[in-house]
Amino acid sequence: MSRELFRAGVLVALSMSAGWIGWSGHVLLLPVAVAFPLLWSLATTRLQAATHSAVYFLSASRGLPQGVANFYEQDIWPGLLLWLMASSAFVAVHSVLWTNRAGWQKPLLYLAASGAMAIPPLGIFGWAHPITAAGVLFPGWGWFGLSAMAAGLVVLTTRYRPAATIAMTGLWLWSAAEWTQPMLPASWIGVDLKMGASLGREAGLHRQRELFDILRRHPPGTTIVLPESALGFWTPTAGRVWQRALTGTGITVIAGATIVEPKGYDNVLVKLSADGNEVLYRERMPVPGSMWQPWRDWIGVQGGARAHFFANPVVEIGSAKVAPLICYEQLLVWPVLQSAFHRPDAIVAVGNGWWTTGTSIIGIQRASSEAWARLFDVPLVISFNT
């Protein structure tokens, strides 16, 4: 009995380490998360499988309680509750689909669990998915690399796991030795801001002038990306102000904004230039709970961000097709894969992460975006506010 308890304790510790290290915000450490399916398959009871899943997910998303406390300016208890609720889908799926039967059933069930956490509806909470490491192990391989990664994760749940572990470790070391960051598209620049919680909330002339001054530092012909919510609430008046400010600069701006609608609001990216402005992209998956609140419709209350689940996977900017990812979408699998299906020329990842102070959330978002960009070998533009 004591030997079995020791073994179970070691596996739990390893599951926690896989979540903590793999999702620490460093792109080259993402392959550590690949240990999860192996550890899940070594569980001898359903309770152990649930425990492995819980400690992996909770350690991977450990920044959530502090982030929620920062955002709502409250103590940490609401964040802890949301943290536990967010983990429930991941734990439930990997518990229900676990089996102690040998043969083909365990790998097939893991494949089902992995797929369920990659696509809606459960994929809405599909953070910390091990398949994200495909961009590190198979950079430039595209869909073939994604398939190879999925196959490798499945093999890790079989008796051939030692061979799969050795092969993946070799690929990891090779990739780390040869690693290069995703390139920027020609004439594109992602601007990081340090305006804290005021970004998007202060929309006065002084704030607009601050942004205009940042833009004027760049040469004509540049496309500049600003973070999520940089423009605040978007109105025709704001559009005219920006159009006048950009006249004669030759600069195009892609920036985050909020559009208020009668039944809620949209988190969007807007394209601005001296020739005019247009809404480029409406966020497919806002943050559940704090932004996307579908239960409001059920009780007849208006408000909350709207989710455009499978709309606008790519947008056209000039002659280029761009895959936009706003904040929470960078933590999920299905938005980037839906965009990749349309063969984008670049990925644009923006966020407003002032509330993540003291956590690794922005680092994880950056690492995920870099991994996907390297997998499909496309340029990447990143812009965050802290």
pLDDT in tens, 369-378: 999 999 999 9
The mean pLDDT of 263-278, rounded to a whole number, is 94
Q: Are residues 210 and 149 in the same domain?
A: no
pLDDT at 82: 78
pLDDT at 115: 97
Q: Could you tell me the CATH number of the domain that includes residue 346?
A: 3.60.110.10
pLDDT at 207: 83
Q: Of 157, 178, 199, at which residue does a domain stop?
A: 178
Q: Are residues 200 and 59 in the same domain?
A: no
Q: Are residues 280 and 371 in the same domain?
A: yes
* 87 located within any domain: yes
Task: Give the whole-angstrom CA distance, residue 143 versus residue 36.
Answer: 22
Q: Is the dihedral of CA 263, 268, 272, 277 positive or negative?
A: negative
* 69 located within any domain: yes
pLDDT at 73: 67
* 78 located within any domain: yes
Q: Are residues 264 and 133 in the same domain?
A: no
116: its two tokens = 């369920």
Q: Of 127, 153, 178, at which residue does a domain stop?
A: 178
Tens digit of pLDDT for each residue in 78-90?
778 878 888 999 9
12: its two tokens = 């739990």
User: pLDDT at residue 1 above 80?
Assistant: no
Better pLDDT: 209 or 51:
51
For the beta sheet containing 315-317, the strands, ordered from the edge strand earlier in sequence to the opposite edge, are 315-317, 320-326, 346-352, 380-385
Task: Give the domain extent around 292.
Answer: 188-385
* 183 located within any domain: no
Q: Are residues 161 and 218 in the same domain?
A: no
Q: Phi and psi (nearest 5°) for 85?
A: -65, -40
* 277 located within any domain: yes
Count of structural domains, the chain:
2
Q: Are residues 130 and 204 in the same domain?
A: no
Q: Are residues 194 and 314 in the same domain?
A: yes
Q: Are residues 258 and 112 in the same domain?
A: no
Across 46-55, 257-266, 295-304, 342-351, least confident range: 295-304
Q: What is the DSSP letter of 257?
A: E
The helix (run of H) or strand (run of E) holding residue 303 is none
Q: Are residues 268 and 140 in the same domain?
A: no
Q: What does pTM read for this prediction?
A: 0.94
Q: Of 135, 157, 178, at which residue does a domain stop?
A: 178
Query: For tokens 């990143």, what's the residue?
Result: 382
Across 39-43, 69-73, 123-127, 179-183, least confident range: 69-73
Q: Are residues 214 and 166 in the same domain?
A: no
Q: Are residues 161 and 224 in the same domain?
A: no
Q: What is the DSSP letter of 368?
A: H
- Computed over every residue of the chain, the mean pLDDT equals 93
User: pLDDT at residue 367 above 90?
Assistant: yes
Q: Phi and psi (nearest 5°) for 193?
A: -115, 155
* 209 located within any domain: yes
Question: What share of the chain has pLDDT > 90, as a percent?
Answer: 76
The mean pLDDT of 166-173, rounded to a whole number, is 97
Q: Are residues 40 and 105 in the same domain?
A: yes
